[in-house]
Chain A
Amino acid sequence: MKKKAWKLLVKLLGKTLLAALIFFAATFTLYITNGENKLIYYVVRPFLNRHYDSQTRDRRIV
Protein backbone atom coordinates (compact mmCIF):
# COMPACT_ATOMS: atom_id res chain seq x y z
CA MET A 1 0.00 0.00 0.00
CA LYS A 2 2.78 2.32 1.02
CA LYS A 3 4.79 1.30 -2.02
CA LYS A 4 1.81 1.94 -4.25
CA ALA A 5 1.28 5.39 -2.83
CA TRP A 6 4.96 6.14 -3.20
CA LYS A 7 4.83 4.97 -6.79
CA LEU A 8 1.82 7.18 -7.43
CA LEU A 9 3.58 10.11 -5.88
CA VAL A 10 6.68 9.57 -7.99
CA LYS A 11 4.53 9.17 -11.05
CA LEU A 12 2.65 12.36 -10.24
CA LEU A 13 5.85 14.22 -9.57
CA GLY A 14 7.29 12.88 -12.77
CA LYS A 15 4.26 13.98 -14.72
CA THR A 16 4.31 17.39 -13.10
CA LEU A 17 7.98 17.75 -13.89
CA LEU A 18 7.40 16.62 -17.44
CA ALA A 19 4.51 19.02 -17.83
CA ALA A 20 6.65 21.79 -16.39
CA LEU A 21 9.45 20.87 -18.73
CA ILE A 22 7.15 20.85 -21.73
CA PHE A 23 5.64 24.12 -20.58
CA PHE A 24 9.09 25.63 -20.14
CA ALA A 25 10.32 24.26 -23.48
CA ALA A 26 7.29 25.55 -25.32
CA THR A 27 7.13 28.96 -23.70
CA PHE A 28 10.89 29.47 -23.70
CA THR A 29 11.03 28.58 -27.40
CA LEU A 30 8.23 31.05 -28.05
CA TYR A 31 10.06 33.59 -25.94
CA ILE A 32 13.54 33.22 -27.37
CA THR A 33 12.38 33.06 -30.98
CA ASN A 34 10.28 36.15 -30.39
CA GLY A 35 7.41 34.08 -31.75
CA GLU A 36 4.47 35.97 -30.31
CA ASN A 37 5.78 39.30 -31.53
CA LYS A 38 6.32 37.97 -35.04
CA LEU A 39 2.80 36.58 -35.03
CA ILE A 40 1.36 39.86 -33.80
CA TYR A 41 3.42 42.05 -36.12
CA TYR A 42 3.04 40.04 -39.31
CA VAL A 43 -0.38 38.41 -38.90
CA VAL A 44 -2.64 39.74 -36.16
CA ARG A 45 -2.09 43.50 -36.50
CA PRO A 46 -2.35 43.57 -40.30
CA PHE A 47 -5.62 41.68 -39.96
CA LEU A 48 -6.90 44.04 -37.29
CA ASN A 49 -5.73 47.10 -39.21
CA ARG A 50 -7.68 45.94 -42.25
CA HIS A 51 -10.73 45.69 -40.02
CA TYR A 52 -10.16 49.13 -38.47
CA ASP A 53 -9.65 50.68 -41.88
CA SER A 54 -12.92 49.23 -43.09
CA GLN A 55 -14.90 50.58 -40.12
CA THR A 56 -17.41 53.33 -40.71
CA ARG A 57 -16.80 55.74 -37.86
CA ASP A 58 -19.22 58.38 -36.77
CA ARG A 59 -16.75 61.22 -37.20
CA ARG A 60 -18.08 64.63 -36.32
CA ILE A 61 -17.77 67.59 -34.05
CA VAL A 62 -21.01 67.23 -32.17
Chain B
Amino acid sequence: MTKEVFCLKDLKHLIYFENLLQDAQNELVDKAKAEGRYALGYNCYYVPEVLLNLPGCFSSRLRAPRCTSTDIAGYYMTNRTCPYARSILERAIEGGFNYLDALFGAESCATMDRMEQHFFLINPIQNPRFFVTQIDPPMKGDTTNLDYYKVQLRVKLLEPLRDRLGVDISDEAIRKAVEQHNRLCRVITAIGDFRKLPNPPITGYEFHVIMLVSQVCPHDLILPYLEETLEELKTREPEPKFPFRARVVLAGSEIDDPDFTRLIESCGAMVVADRYCFGSFPGREEIEIYGSESAFDAVCRHYLHWNQCARFMDGRKIDQRTSEVQRLVRDFAADGIIYENMKFCEFWSYEKVLKSSIFINDLHIPTCTIEKEYALGAVGQLRTRFQAFIESLEIKQLQGGK
Protein backbone atom coordinates (compact mmCIF):
# COMPACT_ATOMS: atom_id res chain seq x y z
CA MET B 1 0.00 0.00 0.00
CA THR B 2 1.37 3.41 -0.82
CA LYS B 3 1.52 6.19 1.68
CA GLU B 4 -1.31 8.18 0.13
CA VAL B 5 -3.96 5.66 1.15
CA PHE B 6 -3.77 6.92 4.70
CA CYS B 7 -4.70 10.39 3.49
CA LEU B 8 -8.26 9.15 2.96
CA LYS B 9 -10.34 10.64 5.74
CA ASP B 10 -11.61 7.98 8.14
CA LEU B 11 -15.23 6.97 7.80
CA LYS B 12 -17.19 8.31 10.70
CA HIS B 13 -18.46 4.93 11.89
CA LEU B 14 -15.61 2.70 10.85
CA ILE B 15 -14.20 2.22 14.32
CA TYR B 16 -17.68 1.62 15.66
CA PHE B 17 -18.23 -0.99 12.94
CA GLU B 18 -14.89 -2.62 13.70
CA ASN B 19 -15.84 -2.84 17.35
CA LEU B 20 -19.14 -4.46 16.46
CA LEU B 21 -17.16 -7.21 14.75
CA GLN B 22 -15.10 -8.04 17.81
CA ASP B 23 -17.77 -10.30 19.29
CA ALA B 24 -20.75 -12.17 17.91
CA GLN B 25 -22.80 -10.80 20.78
CA ASN B 26 -22.18 -7.14 20.09
CA GLU B 27 -23.99 -4.13 21.54
CA LEU B 28 -26.64 -4.05 18.81
CA VAL B 29 -27.38 -7.73 19.35
CA ASP B 30 -27.76 -7.01 23.06
CA LYS B 31 -30.06 -4.13 22.28
CA ALA B 32 -32.30 -6.25 20.08
CA LYS B 33 -32.35 -9.00 22.68
CA ALA B 34 -33.30 -6.47 25.31
CA GLU B 35 -36.24 -5.51 23.13
CA GLY B 36 -37.38 -9.12 23.39
CA ARG B 37 -36.46 -10.17 19.88
CA TYR B 38 -35.31 -13.64 18.96
CA ALA B 39 -31.72 -14.06 17.79
CA LEU B 40 -31.59 -16.56 14.94
CA GLY B 41 -28.17 -17.89 13.97
CA TYR B 42 -27.15 -19.20 10.58
CA ASN B 43 -23.93 -20.08 8.81
CA CYS B 44 -24.66 -20.28 5.18
CA TYR B 45 -26.27 -18.38 2.30
CA TYR B 46 -28.53 -21.37 1.72
CA VAL B 47 -30.52 -20.20 4.74
CA PRO B 48 -32.17 -17.00 3.50
CA GLU B 49 -31.22 -14.19 5.82
CA VAL B 50 -34.47 -12.40 4.99
CA LEU B 51 -36.58 -15.18 6.53
CA LEU B 52 -34.69 -14.81 9.79
CA ASN B 53 -35.73 -11.17 9.94
CA LEU B 54 -39.43 -11.72 10.27
CA PRO B 55 -41.21 -9.58 12.87
CA GLY B 56 -39.78 -10.13 16.33
CA CYS B 57 -36.59 -11.82 15.06
CA PHE B 58 -33.20 -10.85 13.79
CA SER B 59 -30.56 -12.77 11.89
CA SER B 60 -27.04 -13.33 13.12
CA ARG B 61 -24.56 -14.88 10.77
CA LEU B 62 -22.14 -16.79 12.95
CA ARG B 63 -18.52 -15.76 13.15
CA ALA B 64 -15.84 -16.53 15.66
CA PRO B 65 -13.69 -13.40 15.69
CA ARG B 66 -10.31 -13.64 17.37
CA CYS B 67 -10.57 -17.39 17.68
CA THR B 68 -6.98 -18.54 17.71
CA SER B 69 -7.30 -21.96 19.26
CA THR B 70 -9.81 -24.71 18.52
CA ASP B 71 -8.61 -27.24 21.05
CA ILE B 72 -12.00 -28.40 22.28
CA ALA B 73 -13.62 -28.35 18.86
CA GLY B 74 -10.55 -30.18 17.59
CA TYR B 75 -11.23 -32.88 20.14
CA TYR B 76 -14.75 -33.28 18.78
CA MET B 77 -14.07 -32.87 15.09
CA THR B 78 -10.30 -33.50 14.80
CA ASN B 79 -7.97 -30.86 13.46
CA ARG B 80 -8.41 -32.14 9.92
CA THR B 81 -11.71 -30.38 9.34
CA CYS B 82 -12.64 -26.92 8.15
CA PRO B 83 -11.25 -24.36 10.61
CA TYR B 84 -14.29 -22.11 10.17
CA ALA B 85 -16.62 -24.85 11.36
CA ARG B 86 -14.29 -25.77 14.18
CA SER B 87 -13.95 -22.16 15.28
CA ILE B 88 -17.71 -21.72 15.39
CA LEU B 89 -18.05 -24.82 17.54
CA GLU B 90 -15.23 -23.67 19.78
CA ARG B 91 -16.90 -20.30 20.22
CA ALA B 92 -20.19 -22.00 21.01
CA ILE B 93 -18.54 -24.16 23.66
CA GLU B 94 -16.86 -21.07 25.10
CA GLY B 95 -20.33 -19.57 25.52
CA GLY B 96 -20.04 -16.99 22.78
CA PHE B 97 -23.41 -17.81 21.23
CA ASN B 98 -25.57 -18.10 24.29
CA TYR B 99 -27.69 -15.22 23.02
CA LEU B 100 -29.01 -17.43 20.21
CA ASP B 101 -32.57 -18.71 20.35
CA ALA B 102 -32.17 -20.98 17.37
CA LEU B 103 -29.66 -22.11 14.80
CA PHE B 104 -30.89 -22.69 11.28
CA GLY B 105 -28.34 -24.89 9.67
CA ALA B 106 -27.84 -26.47 6.30
CA GLU B 107 -26.23 -29.76 5.35
CA SER B 108 -24.39 -27.81 2.71
CA CYS B 109 -21.09 -29.47 3.43
CA ALA B 110 -20.14 -32.38 5.63
CA THR B 111 -18.16 -30.37 8.17
CA MET B 112 -20.76 -27.65 8.54
CA ASP B 113 -23.34 -30.37 8.99
CA ARG B 114 -21.36 -32.08 11.74
CA MET B 115 -20.55 -28.81 13.44
CA GLU B 116 -24.22 -27.88 13.54
CA GLN B 117 -25.09 -31.33 14.86
CA HIS B 118 -22.85 -30.67 17.85
CA PHE B 119 -25.12 -27.75 18.70
CA PHE B 120 -27.80 -30.24 19.71
CA LEU B 121 -25.64 -33.23 20.61
CA ILE B 122 -23.45 -31.61 23.24
CA ASN B 123 -25.76 -28.66 24.00
CA PRO B 124 -23.19 -25.89 24.12
CA ILE B 125 -25.80 -23.09 24.02
CA GLN B 126 -26.98 -22.11 27.46
CA ASN B 127 -30.43 -21.00 26.49
CA PRO B 128 -33.40 -23.23 27.33
CA ARG B 129 -35.31 -22.03 24.28
CA PHE B 130 -32.51 -22.84 21.87
CA PHE B 131 -33.11 -25.35 19.09
CA VAL B 132 -31.45 -26.41 15.85
CA THR B 133 -32.83 -27.40 12.48
CA GLN B 134 -30.91 -28.26 9.35
CA ILE B 135 -32.18 -28.02 5.84
CA ASP B 136 -31.19 -30.39 3.07
CA PRO B 137 -30.05 -27.79 0.56
CA PRO B 138 -30.55 -28.35 -3.17
CA MET B 139 -27.66 -29.03 -5.51
CA LYS B 140 -29.18 -27.97 -8.79
CA GLY B 141 -31.02 -24.93 -10.00
CA ASP B 142 -33.94 -26.67 -11.72
CA THR B 143 -37.60 -26.68 -10.72
CA THR B 144 -37.40 -30.07 -8.99
CA ASN B 145 -34.75 -28.62 -6.71
CA LEU B 146 -36.57 -25.34 -6.28
CA ASP B 147 -39.61 -27.26 -5.07
CA TYR B 148 -37.46 -29.21 -2.64
CA TYR B 149 -35.84 -26.01 -1.39
CA LYS B 150 -39.26 -24.56 -0.70
CA VAL B 151 -40.32 -27.66 1.19
CA GLN B 152 -37.11 -27.61 3.20
CA LEU B 153 -37.41 -23.97 4.15
CA ARG B 154 -41.04 -24.34 5.04
CA VAL B 155 -40.60 -27.45 7.17
CA LYS B 156 -37.25 -26.66 8.76
CA LEU B 157 -37.39 -22.90 9.05
CA LEU B 158 -40.77 -21.24 8.80
CA GLU B 159 -42.83 -23.82 10.64
CA PRO B 160 -40.41 -24.13 13.57
CA LEU B 161 -40.36 -20.33 13.80
CA ARG B 162 -44.13 -20.27 13.99
CA ASP B 163 -44.59 -23.34 16.18
CA ARG B 164 -41.72 -22.87 18.62
CA LEU B 165 -41.32 -19.13 18.80
CA GLY B 166 -44.75 -17.94 17.72
CA VAL B 167 -43.37 -15.88 14.84
CA ASP B 168 -45.74 -14.54 12.21
CA ILE B 169 -44.83 -16.31 8.96
CA SER B 170 -47.69 -14.99 6.86
CA ASP B 171 -47.17 -13.72 3.33
CA GLU B 172 -47.64 -10.21 4.63
CA ALA B 173 -44.92 -10.65 7.23
CA ILE B 174 -42.52 -12.07 4.67
CA ARG B 175 -43.28 -9.21 2.28
CA LYS B 176 -42.47 -6.74 5.01
CA ALA B 177 -39.20 -8.56 5.76
CA VAL B 178 -38.36 -8.51 2.04
CA GLU B 179 -38.97 -4.77 1.89
CA GLN B 180 -36.66 -4.13 4.83
CA HIS B 181 -34.10 -6.51 3.43
CA ASN B 182 -34.19 -4.76 0.06
CA ARG B 183 -33.64 -1.43 1.75
CA LEU B 184 -30.49 -2.76 3.35
CA CYS B 185 -29.41 -4.32 0.04
CA ARG B 186 -29.85 -1.02 -1.80
CA VAL B 187 -27.64 0.77 0.69
CA ILE B 188 -24.91 -1.85 0.63
CA THR B 189 -25.03 -2.12 -3.16
CA ALA B 190 -24.76 1.64 -3.48
CA ILE B 191 -21.77 1.65 -1.15
CA GLY B 192 -20.23 -1.28 -3.01
CA ASP B 193 -20.74 0.38 -6.38
CA PHE B 194 -18.22 3.04 -5.45
CA ARG B 195 -15.63 0.34 -5.96
CA LYS B 196 -16.39 0.44 -9.68
CA LEU B 197 -14.90 3.89 -9.94
CA PRO B 198 -11.35 4.22 -11.25
CA ASN B 199 -10.34 5.84 -7.99
CA PRO B 200 -12.89 4.72 -5.40
CA PRO B 201 -13.56 6.71 -2.24
CA ILE B 202 -13.67 3.45 -0.28
CA THR B 203 -11.21 0.61 0.21
CA GLY B 204 -11.97 -3.07 -0.02
CA TYR B 205 -11.24 -3.40 3.67
CA GLU B 206 -13.76 -0.73 4.61
CA PHE B 207 -16.39 -2.33 2.44
CA HIS B 208 -15.66 -5.73 3.95
CA VAL B 209 -16.24 -4.29 7.42
CA ILE B 210 -19.47 -2.65 6.30
CA MET B 211 -20.69 -5.82 4.64
CA LEU B 212 -19.93 -7.87 7.72
CA VAL B 213 -21.74 -5.61 10.15
CA SER B 214 -24.77 -5.82 7.90
CA GLN B 215 -24.77 -9.58 8.43
CA VAL B 216 -24.05 -9.83 12.12
CA CYS B 217 -26.17 -6.98 13.46
CA PRO B 218 -29.94 -6.59 13.56
CA HIS B 219 -30.74 -4.94 10.26
CA ASP B 220 -32.95 -2.16 11.55
CA LEU B 221 -30.38 -1.16 14.13
CA ILE B 222 -27.40 -1.06 11.79
CA LEU B 223 -29.23 0.47 8.85
CA PRO B 224 -29.13 4.11 10.07
CA TYR B 225 -25.37 3.89 10.42
CA LEU B 226 -25.04 2.37 6.96
CA GLU B 227 -27.25 5.03 5.41
CA GLU B 228 -25.19 7.70 7.04
CA THR B 229 -22.03 6.06 5.75
CA LEU B 230 -23.48 6.02 2.24
CA GLU B 231 -24.16 9.73 2.43
CA GLU B 232 -20.67 10.31 3.75
CA LEU B 233 -19.15 8.35 0.87
CA LYS B 234 -20.98 10.44 -1.69
CA THR B 235 -18.87 13.40 -0.69
CA ARG B 236 -15.77 11.64 0.52
CA GLU B 237 -12.67 12.77 -1.30
CA PRO B 238 -10.74 9.88 -2.75
CA GLU B 239 -6.97 9.82 -2.88
CA PRO B 240 -5.54 12.22 -5.44
CA LYS B 241 -4.35 9.20 -7.36
CA PHE B 242 -5.54 5.58 -7.18
CA PRO B 243 -3.33 4.33 -4.41
CA PHE B 244 -3.21 0.64 -5.40
CA ARG B 245 -1.17 -1.10 -8.04
CA ALA B 246 -3.94 -3.44 -9.16
CA ARG B 247 -7.62 -4.29 -8.72
CA VAL B 248 -8.70 -7.81 -7.89
CA VAL B 249 -11.87 -9.81 -7.40
CA LEU B 250 -11.68 -12.01 -4.33
CA ALA B 251 -13.61 -15.26 -4.76
CA GLY B 252 -13.93 -18.31 -2.55
CA SER B 253 -15.33 -19.73 0.65
CA GLU B 254 -15.76 -18.15 4.09
CA ILE B 255 -13.85 -14.93 4.61
CA ASP B 256 -15.26 -13.17 7.63
CA ASP B 257 -12.07 -11.51 8.74
CA PRO B 258 -11.60 -8.07 7.16
CA ASP B 259 -7.93 -8.30 8.03
CA PHE B 260 -7.60 -10.75 5.18
CA THR B 261 -8.78 -8.10 2.76
CA ARG B 262 -6.48 -5.65 4.48
CA LEU B 263 -3.60 -8.10 3.93
CA ILE B 264 -4.26 -8.19 0.18
CA GLU B 265 -4.57 -4.43 0.05
CA SER B 266 -1.40 -3.96 2.03
CA CYS B 267 0.32 -5.93 -0.71
CA GLY B 268 -0.90 -3.42 -3.25
CA ALA B 269 -4.14 -4.73 -4.77
CA MET B 270 -7.53 -3.30 -3.98
CA VAL B 271 -10.26 -5.88 -3.48
CA VAL B 272 -12.92 -4.38 -5.72
CA ALA B 273 -15.43 -7.20 -5.59
CA ASP B 274 -16.19 -9.77 -2.90
CA ARG B 275 -17.54 -13.04 -4.28
CA TYR B 276 -17.15 -15.25 -1.25
CA CYS B 277 -19.27 -16.49 1.61
CA PHE B 278 -19.86 -13.37 3.77
CA GLY B 279 -19.31 -11.23 0.67
CA SER B 280 -21.90 -9.14 -1.11
CA PHE B 281 -21.96 -11.27 -4.26
CA PRO B 282 -24.27 -12.92 -3.63
CA GLY B 283 -25.97 -11.50 -0.61
CA ARG B 284 -27.08 -8.02 -1.32
CA GLU B 285 -29.17 -8.39 -4.47
CA GLU B 286 -32.69 -7.05 -4.10
CA ILE B 287 -35.45 -9.64 -3.96
CA GLU B 288 -38.13 -9.11 -6.59
CA ILE B 289 -41.61 -10.50 -6.12
CA TYR B 290 -43.23 -11.21 -9.46
CA GLY B 291 -46.96 -10.82 -10.10
CA SER B 292 -49.03 -13.34 -8.23
CA GLU B 293 -45.99 -15.05 -6.73
CA SER B 294 -46.00 -15.40 -2.96
CA ALA B 295 -43.26 -13.63 -1.08
CA PHE B 296 -41.97 -16.95 0.19
CA ASP B 297 -41.75 -18.38 -3.33
CA ALA B 298 -39.91 -15.28 -4.47
CA VAL B 299 -37.40 -15.62 -1.64
CA CYS B 300 -36.73 -19.27 -2.52
CA ARG B 301 -36.40 -18.54 -6.23
CA HIS B 302 -34.13 -15.60 -5.53
CA TYR B 303 -31.79 -17.47 -3.21
CA LEU B 304 -31.58 -20.50 -5.45
CA HIS B 305 -30.84 -18.34 -8.46
CA TRP B 306 -28.17 -16.19 -6.87
CA ASN B 307 -26.51 -18.88 -4.80
CA GLN B 308 -22.93 -19.32 -6.00
CA CYS B 309 -21.98 -22.21 -3.74
CA ALA B 310 -19.38 -24.54 -5.20
CA ARG B 311 -21.53 -27.52 -4.31
CA PHE B 312 -24.01 -26.94 -7.13
CA MET B 313 -23.54 -29.73 -9.61
CA ASP B 314 -25.56 -28.90 -12.68
CA GLY B 315 -23.84 -27.40 -15.68
CA ARG B 316 -25.95 -24.27 -15.64
CA LYS B 317 -24.99 -23.39 -12.08
CA ILE B 318 -21.35 -24.34 -12.63
CA ASP B 319 -21.24 -22.05 -15.64
CA GLN B 320 -23.10 -19.36 -13.71
CA ARG B 321 -20.31 -19.38 -11.13
CA THR B 322 -17.81 -18.68 -13.88
CA SER B 323 -19.86 -16.03 -15.60
CA GLU B 324 -20.65 -14.26 -12.35
CA VAL B 325 -16.95 -13.87 -11.48
CA GLN B 326 -16.28 -12.86 -15.07
CA ARG B 327 -19.02 -10.23 -14.77
CA LEU B 328 -17.47 -8.87 -11.59
CA VAL B 329 -14.08 -8.63 -13.27
CA ARG B 330 -15.69 -6.66 -16.09
CA ASP B 331 -17.99 -4.43 -14.02
CA PHE B 332 -15.39 -3.61 -11.41
CA ALA B 333 -12.55 -3.30 -13.93
CA ALA B 334 -10.47 -5.87 -12.10
CA ASP B 335 -7.04 -6.89 -13.33
CA GLY B 336 -7.18 -10.34 -11.84
CA ILE B 337 -8.85 -12.79 -9.51
CA ILE B 338 -7.74 -14.30 -6.25
CA TYR B 339 -9.41 -17.66 -5.62
CA GLU B 340 -9.36 -18.65 -1.99
CA ASN B 341 -10.36 -21.79 -0.21
CA MET B 342 -10.50 -22.48 3.48
CA LYS B 343 -8.17 -25.30 4.37
CA PHE B 344 -9.94 -28.69 4.21
CA CYS B 345 -12.83 -27.26 2.19
CA GLU B 346 -13.38 -29.86 -0.51
CA PHE B 347 -15.84 -27.90 -2.61
CA TRP B 348 -13.70 -24.82 -2.94
CA SER B 349 -10.52 -26.86 -3.30
CA TYR B 350 -11.97 -28.34 -6.46
CA GLU B 351 -13.62 -25.13 -7.56
CA LYS B 352 -10.44 -23.10 -7.39
CA VAL B 353 -8.50 -25.66 -9.45
CA LEU B 354 -11.18 -25.81 -12.12
CA LYS B 355 -11.93 -22.13 -12.23
CA SER B 356 -8.34 -20.98 -12.19
CA SER B 357 -7.77 -23.22 -15.19
CA ILE B 358 -10.77 -21.73 -16.99
CA PHE B 359 -9.88 -18.14 -16.16
CA ILE B 360 -6.21 -18.45 -16.98
CA ASN B 361 -6.39 -20.68 -20.04
CA ASP B 362 -9.77 -20.00 -21.59
CA LEU B 363 -10.68 -16.49 -20.51
CA HIS B 364 -7.12 -15.16 -20.12
CA ILE B 365 -7.79 -13.45 -16.82
CA PRO B 366 -4.84 -13.63 -14.44
CA THR B 367 -5.80 -15.75 -11.45
CA CYS B 368 -4.04 -16.65 -8.24
CA THR B 369 -5.17 -19.46 -5.96
CA ILE B 370 -4.49 -19.68 -2.27
CA GLU B 371 -5.53 -21.77 0.70
CA LYS B 372 -5.97 -20.19 4.10
CA GLU B 373 -6.71 -20.92 7.71
CA TYR B 374 -9.71 -19.32 9.41
CA ALA B 375 -7.66 -17.27 11.81
CA LEU B 376 -5.00 -15.21 10.16
CA GLY B 377 -1.84 -16.23 11.92
CA ALA B 378 1.37 -16.55 9.98
CA VAL B 379 0.68 -14.50 6.88
CA GLY B 380 4.21 -14.43 5.49
CA GLN B 381 3.56 -17.03 2.81
CA LEU B 382 0.30 -15.44 1.78
CA ARG B 383 1.91 -12.04 1.58
CA THR B 384 4.62 -13.42 -0.70
CA ARG B 385 2.01 -15.04 -2.94
CA PHE B 386 -0.03 -11.86 -3.18
CA GLN B 387 2.99 -9.69 -3.82
CA ALA B 388 4.18 -11.99 -6.59
CA PHE B 389 0.72 -12.03 -8.13
CA ILE B 390 0.31 -8.29 -7.96
CA GLU B 391 3.74 -7.85 -9.48
CA SER B 392 2.73 -10.11 -12.36
CA LEU B 393 -0.41 -8.02 -12.84
CA GLU B 394 1.68 -4.88 -12.92
CA ILE B 395 4.04 -6.34 -15.47
CA LYS B 396 1.04 -7.30 -17.56
CA GLN B 397 -0.27 -3.75 -17.35
CA LEU B 398 3.11 -2.40 -18.40
CA GLN B 399 3.12 -4.78 -21.33
CA GLY B 400 -0.28 -3.54 -22.40
CA GLY B 401 -2.22 -6.52 -21.12
CA LYS B 402 -0.19 -9.08 -23.00
Contacts and interface: CB of A to CB of B under 8 A. Distances in A.
Asked if A and B touch directly (CB within 8 angstroms), the answer is yes
A61 B354 CA distance: 7
Contacts of B357: 61
Tier of interface size on chain B: under 10
B355 to A, nearest CB: 10
B353 interface: yes
A61 B355 CA distance: 10
Contacts, number: 5
Interface string B352-371: 01100110010000000000
Nearest to B358: A61
Interface of B: 353-354, 357-358, 361
Interface of A: 61
A61 B353 CA distance: 9
A61 B361 CA distance: 10
Contacts of A61: 353-354, 357-358, 361
Nearest to A62: B357
B353 to A, nearest CB: 7
Nearest to A61: B357
A61 B358 CA distance: 8
A45 B126 CA distance: 62
A60 to B, nearest CB: 8
A39 to B, nearest CB: 40
A61 B357 CA distance: 7
Chain A to chain B: the 5 pairs with minimum beta-carbon distance, closest first: A61-B357, A61-B354, A61-B353, A61-B358, A61-B361
A4 to B, nearest CB: 77
B34 to A, nearest CB: 54
